[in-house]
């Protein structure tokens, strides 16, 4: 209030601003209440003087010193805003239709802040509205919520008066973990710098209006003295409160309003003996009577209060700028300095409406004595200019408001916000920036999963699934790895899948290769033995040509597994199943011929049949060719129509992290047809050999074939479920094992007993020994 009066007096003394025009003012107390503010407003805009009505739209400007009307009579042309946003907004909405200028600012700052905060990724844990007159239960409920919340940072839009009770309760509870962020309404409130709040409020950070030292303001404030004049009532009340005394010229009486139950004390200010004015307020009459009498000469310089602290005024500076903005708008409206002469003049008698003053106020643009540019944007908003204030204790334990940064919206986007982070003291005097999170950011390798019915900053960390990664802290989603790539153990990066196949260097591969070569070697040795003893009865009795063909097919059977071991390729995938099918069919065809020959030979000896002569070598070769030809046709058609192909199988990647290289069948029935035909020949051999099982004991060829076929069938019957259920490269290993097992079964059952007779029982290697007739 006093700064506004100082600014008006300073303008009235200025010969270059509004020359010849004197500004006046009226002061009305809003009591920081909406209804009181509206009552005061109506008293201003409906007041009449010199017979001019309240509906008058234009006014005359006169010279105050000549006694004529001042600034269009009694109507108020502009208002300097209130200290609180709620009453100011209510008043501004009433003034809007009348186009009367007011400094209008919103009470919805916290809502706008919350919206912007969320848009920038922040999270509001809770929002509390402080009641106008909270009771003890409400205060305790709010304090309990502040104390138990995991949120460490609290942003407060309120006045120091509204905060006082809540802060007292929190201080009593010894709460010290909160980092307060203050709005401009209380960020420089000296009321809250009491030692009782030091633990609670140290480190408070907030935006404040720029602070300046206004020349002459201190002297103007210190020259104030109490007076019985009606316009000095606010000063008188301030004087009594500051010095704890009472003024003698104020007569305090009490009266009761007949229309209500409210008891009000009426202060009558006597001016001379004729006039009096009344002001309503509610002091304590008993306390007032006990106070000493004020002399009116008390020394303001000896007091320490926000009134006497003018080293850096902030809110008062805004009032100062507001008065000057109105003066500059009026200066332009009255065409001051418009004649181009050296003498400054204004069109004092120019009529104008409130709308005209508002239009000129919006166009104000000047630089004041503090080198600050004052103007309004297209929305009527002043340029945002703030200092960032930090509450810090000095060496003497006093709380100080330290500037640690600034915000200037007129600067470039990169230069608008400036902060000296190293100069900031955070809550409880800490040097580290406080962390306020519901849940700590999820580490790489995991993602954030929102908790239902909780703020979005409250979440659980869920590890990324197999084949997915997250390489940043706080990821909300996991990224799927490219094809044939896999997530590493920490789920932080994708790695190329390791190709897995049955290698020659693997232990299993080495064992199978050794067995395969052993089978080939053993077959070659037996072939050499049979060749060396080819003239003996036991070798001749087994059809030497068929025996050698059988041994050759067994060598091929033992060599087939080598096509299945090693890294699969197009050239190994296509021939290996065909080689397997043809080798075993050739082997079984030879066994089938041997079985038929044995049966016919013994039937001749028994019945003298000529059948054996009809089934000679030519017929035997023809039978082998006929039984092998279907398999050749089947394999050729399979390879030409739908050949197997190389396939990277990622099925087992989730378990092993490896990609299995395998030969995929384009037409799976082809493999089972090949295997089925082998089964048909094996079953035929088994059936014929079973029929000849009762041949003379001296010649046990049929029994040996029967036993070898039982081994062969057992192996391949077991192979089918094992092949289907084996994972990855073990599928190949199972098939190789079946080949080797069945080949060894044939070799050992058919040829080893004969070698045993050749070397260990040569006395039986004679014709009589073969037929059982000595």
User: Average model confidence (pLDDT) for the chain?
Assistant: 82
Tokens of 338: 């418009």
Structure-token match 């703020």, residue found = 455
Eight-class DSSP state of 121: T
Is residue 611's pLDDT more than 70?
A: no
pLDDT at 290: 78
Look at residue 55 and tell me whether its pLDDT is greater than 80.
no
Residue 283 lies in a domain: no
The verdict on 711 and 585 lying in the same domain is yes
- Which of 48, 26, 29 is CA-nearest to residue 40? 29
Res. 106 pLDDT band, cuts 50 70 90: low
How far is 3 from 219, CA to CA, in rounded Å? 11
The answer as to whether 435 is a domain residue is no
With both helix axes pointing from N to C terminus, report the angle between 507-532 and 544-559 in degrees, rounded to the nearest 10. 170
Q: Are residues 118 and 72 in the same domain?
A: no
Q: 383-415: per-residue pLDDT in tens? A: 888 999 999 999 898 999 999 999 998 888 889
Q: Which residues of 423-461 are buried (b: 16+ CB within 10 A; e: fewer)?
A: ebbbbeeeeeeeebebbeebbbbbbbeeeeeebebbbeb
Helix runs in 291-353, H state only: 315-333
Q: What is the pLDDT at residue 771? A: 52
Q: Are 599 and 615 in contact (CB under 8 A)?
A: no
Say yes or no: 580 and 629 in one domain: yes
For the cut 60, the answer to whether the pLDDT of residue 273 exceeds it is: no
Report how far residue 587's alpha carbon sits from residue 557's, in angstroms, rounded to the nearest whole number: 8
> Is 227 a residue whose pLDDT tops 50?
yes
- Region 220-228 average pLDDT: 92
User: What is the predicted pLDDT for the residue at 768?
Assistant: 62
**pLDDT for 426:** 94
Q: Which residue has the higher pLDDT, 701 or 287?
A: 701
Domain assignment present for residue 123? The answer is: yes
Give the SS3 label for residue 660.
Answer: strand
Q: For the chain, how big is the Rg over CA atoms in Å?
A: 54
d(CA 709, CA 94): 109
- pLDDT of 340 reads 54
pTM of the model: 0.57
Question: Between the CA of residue 759 and those of 232, 545, 756, 770, what are the distances in Å?
Answer: 142, 21, 5, 16
Residue among 124, 110, 153 nearest 457 (CA): 124
- Specify the pLDDT at position 82: 81
SS3 411: coil
Measured CA to CA, the distance from residue 585 to residue 630 in angstroms comes to 10
Q: What is the pLDDT of residues 647-674, one digit of tens each?
A: 887 776 656 667 888 888 778 888 888 8
Give 475-523 pLDDT, tens digit per residue: 889 999 888 888 888 899 988 877 888 888 889 999 999 999 999 999 9
From CA 402, how far away is CA 391, in angstroms rounded?
6
Among 336-340, 529-533, 740-744, name the one with the lowest average pLDDT: 336-340
Model pLDDT, residue 205: 96
Secondary structure, 3-state, 142-176: HHHHHHHCCCCEEEECCCHHHHHHHHHHHHHCCCC
**pLDDT for position 401:** 93
CB-CB contact of 76 with 26 (8 Å): yes
Q: Indicate the helix (H) or strand (E) that contains 558.
A: helix 544-559
**Closest by Cα among 141, 138, 151 to 177:** 151
Q: Could you tell me if residue 27 is inside a domain?
A: yes
On whether both 633 and 673 belong to a single domain, the answer is yes
Instruction: Read off the pLDDT band of 446 (50, 70, 90).
Output: very high
Q: How far is CA 441 from the centre of its chain?
A: 8
Final residue belonging to a domain, choices 329, 362, 383? 383
Residues with Cβ within 8 Å of 756's Cβ and at least 6 positions away in sequence, in order, are none
Domain range spanning residue 661?
567-771
By DSSP bridging, strand 446-450 and strand 498-500 are unpaired
Q: Give the pLDDT score at 53.
A: 37
Using alpha carbons, list the distances in angstroms from residue 227 to 24, 156, 190, 230, 237. 19, 40, 28, 8, 11
Length of the chain: 774
Last residue of a domain, one of 480, 496, 512: 496
Q: Yes or no: say if 457 and 505 are a contact pair by the CB < 8 Å rule.
A: no
Distance CA 2, CA 8 (A): 10
- pLDDT value at 698 more than 70: no
pLDDT at position 420 is 93
Residue-level pLDDT at 78: 85
Q: Are residues 613 and 741 in the same domain?
A: yes
pLDDT of the residue at 137: 94
pLDDT digit string, tens, across residues 431-444:
889 888 888 889 99
**Do 593 and 707 share a domain, yes or no?**
yes
Question: Do 84 and 137 belong to one domain?
Answer: no
Please give the biggest Cα pair distance in the chain.
Answer: 172
Count of domains observed in the chain: 4
End-of-domain residue from the set 328, 363, 383: 383
pLDDT above 50 (res 529):
yes
Q: Are residues 420 and 461 in the same domain?
A: no
Residue 691: inside a domain, yes or no?
yes
Residue 715 forms part of a structural domain: yes
Q: Per-residue pLDDT tens for 308-333?
A: 888 888 889 999 999 999 999 999 99
Strand pairing of 479-480 and 468-469? antiparallel
Q: How far apart are CA 765 and CA 757, in angstroms?
A: 7
CA torsion 45→49→55→58, rounded to 10°?
-100
Residue 469 pLDDT > 80? yes
Give CA separation, 91 vs 35, 97, 101, 106, 769, in Å.
10, 11, 11, 12, 133
Q: Residues 120, 136: one domain?
A: yes
φ/ψ (deg, to 5) at 669: -60, -25
The pLDDT of residue 61 is above 70: no
List the end-to-end C-alpha distance of the chain, in Å, as a whole number.
Answer: 147
> Is 676 part of any domain?
yes
Same domain flag for 97 and 27: yes
CB atoms inside a 10 Å sphere around CB 735: 22
Is the pLDDT confidence value at 616 over 80? no
Per-residue pLDDT, 767: 67
Distance CA 669, CA 664 (A): 12
**Average confidence (pLDDT) over 748-764:** 86
pLDDT of residue 263 exceeding 50, the answer is no
Whether residue 281 has pLDDT greater than 60: no
Residue 502: inside a domain, yes or no? no
Within 66-168, strands assigned E span 153-156
pLDDT in tens, 140-169: 999 999 998 888 999 998 888 889 999 999
Do 624 and 765 lie in a common domain?
yes
Going by C-alpha positions, the residue among 578, 513, 543, 548 that lies closest to residue 740 is 513
> What pLDDT shows up at residue 267?
30
CA distance 755 to 37: 124
Mark whether 164 and 101 lie in a shared domain: no
What tens digit of pLDDT does each residue of 3-51 get?
Answer: 999 999 999 999 899 998 889 888 888 888 888 888 888 877 765 444 3
Check pLDDT > 70 for residue 138. yes
Instruction: Output the pLDDT for position 542.
Output: 63
pLDDT of residue 477: 92
Q: Which has more confidence, 535 or 518?
A: 518
CA-based nearest residue to 738, from 723, 728, 751, 757: 723
What confidence score (pLDDT) does residue 440 get?
86
Count of CB atoms situated within 10 Å of the CB of 551: 21
| Residue 756: its H or E element | helix 752-760
Which pLDDT score is estimated for 65?
33
Q: How confident is the model at residue 174 (pLDDT cuts 50, 70, 90)?
A: very high
- Which CATH number does the domain housing residue 19 bear? 3.40.50.2300
């Amino acid at each position: 209030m006093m700064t506004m009066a100082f600014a008006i007096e300073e303008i009235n003394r200025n010969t270059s601003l509004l020359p010849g025009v004197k500004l006046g003012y009226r002061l009305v107390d809003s009591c920081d209440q909406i209804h009181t503010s509206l009552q005061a407003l109506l008293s201003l805009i409906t007041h009449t003087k010199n017979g001019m009505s309240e509906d008058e739209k234009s006014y005359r400007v006169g010279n105050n010193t000549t006694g004529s009307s001042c600034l269009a009579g009694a109507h108020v042309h502009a208002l300097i805003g209130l200290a609180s946003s709620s009453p100011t907004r209510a008043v501004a909405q009433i003034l809007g239709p009348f186009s009367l200028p007011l400094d209008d600012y919103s009470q919805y700052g916290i809502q706008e802040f919350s919206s912007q905060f969320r848009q920038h990724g922040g999270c509001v844990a809770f929002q509390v509205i402080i009641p106008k007159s909270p009771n003890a239960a409400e205060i305790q409920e709010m304090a309990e919520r502040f104390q138990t919340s995991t949120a460490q940072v609290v942003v407060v839009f309120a006045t120091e008066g509204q905060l006082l009770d809540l802060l007292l309760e929190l201080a009593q509870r010894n709460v010290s973990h909160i980092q307060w962020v203050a709005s401009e309404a209380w960020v420089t409130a000296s009321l809250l710098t009491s030692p009782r709040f030091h633990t609670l409020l140290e480190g408070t950070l907030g935006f404040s209006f720029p602070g300046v030292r206004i020349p002459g303001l201190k002297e103007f404030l210190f020259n104030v003295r109490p007076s019985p004049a009606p316009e000095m009532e606010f000063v008188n009340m301030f004087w009594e409160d500051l010095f704890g005394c009472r003024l003698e010229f104020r007569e305090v009486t009490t009266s009761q309003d007949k229309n209500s139950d409210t008891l009000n004390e009426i202060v009558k200010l006597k001016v001379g003996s004729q006039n009096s004015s009344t002001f309503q307020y509610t002091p304590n009459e008993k306390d007032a009577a006990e106070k000493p009498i004020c002399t009116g000469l008390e020394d303001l310089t000896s007091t320490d209060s926000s009134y006497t602290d003018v080293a850096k005024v902030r809110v008062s500076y805004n009032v100062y700028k507001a008065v000057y903005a109105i003066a500059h708008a009026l200066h332009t409206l009255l065409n001051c300095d418009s004649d181009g002469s050296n003498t400054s003049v204004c069109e004092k008698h120019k009529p104008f409406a409130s709308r005209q003053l508002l239009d000129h106020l919006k166009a104000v643009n000047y630089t004041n004595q503090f080198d600050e540019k004052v103007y309004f944007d297209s929305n009527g908003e002043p340029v945002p200019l703030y200092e960032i204030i930090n509450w810090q204790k000095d060496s003497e334990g006093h709380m100080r408001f330290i500037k640690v940064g600034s915000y200037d919206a007129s600067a470039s986007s990169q230069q608008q916000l400036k902060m000296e982070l190293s100069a900031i003291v955070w809550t409880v005097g800490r040097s580290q920036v406080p962390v306020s999170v519901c849940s700590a950011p999820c580490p790489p390798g995991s993602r954030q999963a929102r908790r239902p019915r909780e703020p979005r900053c409250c979440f659980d960390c869920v590890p990324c699934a197999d084949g997915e990664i997250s390489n940043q802290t706080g990821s909300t989603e996991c990224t799927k790895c490219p094809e044939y790539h896999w997530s590493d153990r920490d789920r932080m990066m994708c790695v190329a899948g390791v190709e897995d196949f049955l290698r020659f260097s693997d232990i299993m591969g080495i064992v199978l290769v050794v067995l395969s070569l052993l089978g080939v070697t053993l077959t070659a040795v037996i072939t050499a033995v049979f060749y060396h003893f080819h003239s003996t009865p036991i070798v001749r009795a087994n059809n030497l040509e068929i025996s050698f063909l059988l041994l050759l097919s067994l060598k091929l059977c033992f060599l087939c597994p080598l096509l299945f071991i090693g890294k699969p390729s197009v050239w190994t995938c296509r021939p290996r199943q065909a080689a397997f099918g043809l080798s075993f069919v050739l082997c079984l065809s030879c066994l089938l011929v041997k079985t038929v020959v044995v049966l016919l030979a013994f039937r001749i000896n028994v019945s003298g049949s000529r059948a054996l002569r009809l089934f000679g070598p030519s017929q035997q070769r023809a039978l082998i060719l006929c039984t092998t030809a279907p398999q050749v046709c089947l394999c050729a058609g399979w390879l030409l129509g739908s050949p197997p192909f190389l396939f990277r199988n990622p099925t087992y990647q989730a378990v092993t992290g490896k990609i299995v290289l395998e030969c995929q069948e384009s037409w799976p029935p082809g493999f089972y047809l090949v295997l089925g035909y082998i089964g048909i020949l094996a079953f035929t051999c088994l059936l014929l050999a079973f029929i000849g099982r009762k041949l003379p004991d001296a010649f046990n060829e049929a029994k040996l074939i029967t036993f070898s076929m039982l081994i062969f069938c057992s192996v391949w019957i077991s192979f089918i479920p094992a092949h289907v259920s084996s994972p990855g490269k073990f599928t190949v290993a199972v098939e190789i094992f079946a080949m080797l097992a069945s080949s060894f079964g044939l070799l050992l059952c058919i040829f080893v007993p004969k070698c045993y007779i050749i070397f260990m029982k040569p006395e039986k290697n004679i014709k009589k020994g073969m037929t059982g007739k000595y």
